[in-house]
């Protein structure tokens, strides 16, 4: 039997019995091109328990790779058992929701072309529009809202977010805006829009879409899922277009046009080699990648080799963050080689044994690291253009380390590292901070600082700390700029090292 056939049988059996770990999946999948191996080429050799192809499939087929179904609805009507594999054909698009009903299920793209797209939005038919006032139009649309309040309707014109306003009156006066009669109704609502360009949506030839389904792919209730090579887009429910269950892995994903969240990771989940792009939820806080659960086994969460970007820095937005619901502690939360662009906060995390940010970049963020966890470590990260802080330490008693972090402030009047919490311990080893007013500022008692092999270039004080500080240890550092070598005690003295 050829190697690919043997490998497929091994993967299938490991999945059935729950032994298919992410690392083992990646190692075995490399023999059968389970991940995208060249641009537009996916998983050429796997057979699947079920296959779906929106372009060439037919719901009267048997659902095999050679005779795939056409719709997700047909797939969802089948019995999906633990260990089953599901193939989604390249260049397919479904405006349907795929809910994973069993543990140890593998979902993978296959064939040639663009990533298969599972889309949480619908197109508004041109016939649905009617004029409200001169520039505001309305349409009745159907949504799967959550009466509990966790849904938010987004609207798009030619793939671009429209801006949420309070109602039809404001919509009338604001080009490029929309309003809804309800975010939480499960059924019909009224969508109001004022198109960019003051056009008539019934006749202007533009495409108008709205978030209709809660998720694109929902694996919340299953465990040990493996998902690869899929594009998920848009979500009505807060948690994101992709929800991963416990101990599950998603790789090679494209996740776009998020709402309150874009991706939701439960305890033990991993997201890797993926792109997360776009987020908007009106006045609500946006957190693009979130881990959230009531962890019971201190499972770790890993996000690795992922780009998290937004077109502009939304107020109160976060690139990556997580916390428990009501109780429990996650294991290690690792953000490895992440690129974060245009968020109010780049990296954050809480309720974990430790939060570790390893490598990567943060560009155009207001604050790069927010420390809301007792143990927080950042190493090898390069950050540029932040307008407020490199790091804001918000937990009393936090133990924080920065190793070989390079940061450039956007302003000569800003502070790089700040805390107003007591008994914080900060260790800095290597790296460089440039521009800014202060390098390190604490306004609380018990602040302990250990700095070595560090370079700063700031315009005022390198260290600004209170007289009630804890231990200070500084050696082999290089201070340049007009703030060269000054340590300011709040009582008013200047000391030069």
User: Which of 37-41, 125-129, 358-362 is predicted least confidently?
Assistant: 37-41
pLDDT confidence tier of residue 314, bands split at 50, 70 and 90: confident
Q: Per residue in 86-135, pLDDT tens?
A: 999 999 999 999 999 999 999 999 999 999 999 999 999 999 999 999 99
Q: Per residue in 3-15, pLDDT tens?
A: 444 444 445 445 4
Q: Which of 322, 396, 320, 413 is nearest to 358 (CA)?
A: 320
Q: Per residue in 162-210, pLDDT tens?
A: 999 999 999 999 999 999 999 999 999 999 999 999 999 999 999 999 9
Q: Per residue in 427-466, pLDDT tens?
A: 999 999 999 988 999 999 999 999 999 999 988 888 888 8
pLDDT confidence tier of residue 489, bands split at 50, 70 and 90: very low
**pLDDT value at position 3?**
41
Q: Is the pLDDT of residue 308 over 80?
A: yes
Q: Which residues pair with 256 in a beta bridge?
A: 233, 277
pLDDT confidence tier of residue 31, bands split at 50, 70 and 90: very low
**pLDDT value at position 463?**
87
Percent of the chain whose pLDDT exceeds 70: 88
User: Which of 25-29, 91-95, 312-316 is predicted least confidently?
Assistant: 25-29
Mean pLDDT, to the nearest integer, of 338-342?
A: 97
């Amino acid at each position: 039997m050829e190697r690919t056939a043997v490998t497929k049988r091994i993967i299938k059996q490991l999945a059935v019995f729950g032994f298919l770990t992410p690392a083992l999946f990646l190692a075995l999948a490399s023999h059968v091109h389970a991940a995208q191996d060249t641009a537009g080429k996916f998983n050429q050799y796997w057979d699947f328990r079920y296959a779906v192809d929106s372009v060439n499939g037919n719901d009267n087929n048997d659902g095999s790779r050679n005779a795939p179904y056409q719709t997700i609805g047909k797939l969802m009507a089948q019995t999906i058992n633990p260990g089953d594999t599901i193939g989604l054909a390249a260049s397919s698009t479904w405006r349907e929701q795929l809910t994973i009903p069993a543990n140890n299920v593998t979902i993978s793209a296959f064939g040639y072309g663009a990533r298969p797209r599972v889309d949480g939005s619908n197109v508004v038919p041109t016939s649905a529009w009617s004029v409200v006032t001169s520039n505001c139009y309305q349409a009745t649309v159907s949504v799967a809202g959550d009466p509990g309040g966790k849904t938010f309707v987004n609207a798009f014109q030619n793939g671009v977010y429209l801006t949420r306003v309070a109602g039809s009156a404001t919509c009338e006066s604001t080009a490029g805006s929309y309003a809804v009669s309800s975010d939480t109704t499960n059924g019909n609502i009224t969508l109001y829009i004022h198109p960019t360009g003051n056009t008539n949506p019934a006749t202007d030839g533009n495409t108008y879409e709205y978030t209709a389904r809660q998720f694109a792919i929902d694996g919340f209730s299953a465990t040990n899922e493996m998902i690869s090579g899929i594009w998920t887009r848009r979500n009505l429910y807060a948690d994101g277009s992709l929800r991963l269950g416990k101990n599950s892995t998603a790789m090679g994903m494209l996740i776009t046009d998020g709402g309150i969240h874009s991706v939701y990771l439960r305890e033990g989940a991993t997201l890797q080699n993926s792109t997360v792009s776009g987020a908007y939820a009106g006045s609500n806080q946006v957190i693009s990648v979130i881990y959230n659960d009531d962890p019971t086994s201190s499972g770790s969460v890993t996000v690795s080799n992922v780009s998290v970007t937004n077109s502009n820095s939304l107020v109160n937005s976060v690139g990556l963050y997580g916390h428990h619901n009501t109780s429990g502690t996650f294991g290690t939360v690792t953000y490895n080689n992440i690129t974060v662009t245009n968020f109010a906060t780049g990296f954050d995390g809480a309720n974990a044994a430790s939060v570790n940010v390893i490598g990567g970049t943060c560009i155009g963020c207001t604050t790069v690291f927010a420390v809301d966890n007792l143990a927080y470590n950042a190493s090898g990260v390069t950050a540029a253009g932040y307008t407020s802080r490199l790091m804001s330490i918000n937990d009393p008693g936090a133990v924080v380390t920065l190793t070989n972090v390079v940061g450039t402030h956007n302003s000569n009047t800003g502070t790089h590292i700040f805390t107003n919490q007591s008994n914080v311990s900060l260790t800095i080893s290597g790296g460089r901070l440039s521009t800014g007013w202060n390098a390190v500022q604490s306004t609380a008692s018990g602040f302990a600082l250990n700095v070595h092999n560090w370079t700063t270039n700031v315009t005022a004080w390198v260290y600004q700390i209170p007289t009630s500080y804890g231990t200070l240890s500084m050696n082999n550092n290089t201070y340049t700029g007009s703030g060269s070598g000054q340590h300011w005690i709040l009582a008013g003295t200047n000391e030069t090292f």
